[in-house]
Structure formats: structure tokens, C-alpha cells
Amino acid sequence: MTLDRLLARLHANKAELLMVLERPEIPLHTNGSENDIRGHVTRRKISAGTRSETGRDCRDAFLSLAKTCDKLGIAIWDYLGSRFKVVGAAIIAPLDFYVRARLRPT
């Protein structure tokens, strides 16, 4: 009886379950998403949060920027140096250039 219900549910969701064959670049787990917020949670625990909405927005933006740079293999300080035109800093294109390049099919 339980097996019949399981098989019926699998059959009902067949199209959704087989979608992975059409889009193999999509992971079958959420480890990447959970890892993306780990830095935010750690920072929040250490600092006990922020005092203002602006502080929270700044923290979230910086952590998101740092995580994106890390995923793209770009040092956050090199990226910031490039954006702020620090003398002698590496010249790095805007991040959307690198993100779009990664998304293009090969």
C-alpha cells in the first residue's frame, strides 16, 4: 500500500523530476544556497546584528559582493581597488561581465 502511494506520487511528478535531464547545470541539492548565507549568519552572531536598517543593508550588500567575488575567483580587495580607482590596483571589469561570461553556453 505504501509502495503504491510512493509510485503514484513519483509518476504524478515525473515531468518535474526529469527536468534535471534538460538542465544538468542545476544542482540536485541546496548546499550552495546554504553556503551563500553562512557568512551572513556568522557575522550576525558575532556582532549581534546592526543598529540600523542602513547598517543591515550595507552589511548585506558587502557580504553579497564578497561572496560573488569569491565565486568568480576575484579578490574582493582587488575588485574594490579597481572600483575606487586606487593607484596601482588591478583593473577589473564590473562583476556582471564575469557572471554573464559564466552563464554563456560553451
- The reported pLDDT for the residue numbered 81 is 92
What is the value of pTM for the model shown?
Answer: 0.54
Model pLDDT for residues 62-97, shown as the tens digit of each residue: 888 888 898 889 999 999 999 998 988 888 988 888
The pLDDT of residue 37 is above 70: no
Rounded-to-integer distance, Cα 59 and Cα 17, Å: 37
Confidence band, pLDDT 50/70/90 cuts, at residue 6: confident
The pLDDT of residue 98 is above 70: yes
The domains of the chain are located at 1-35
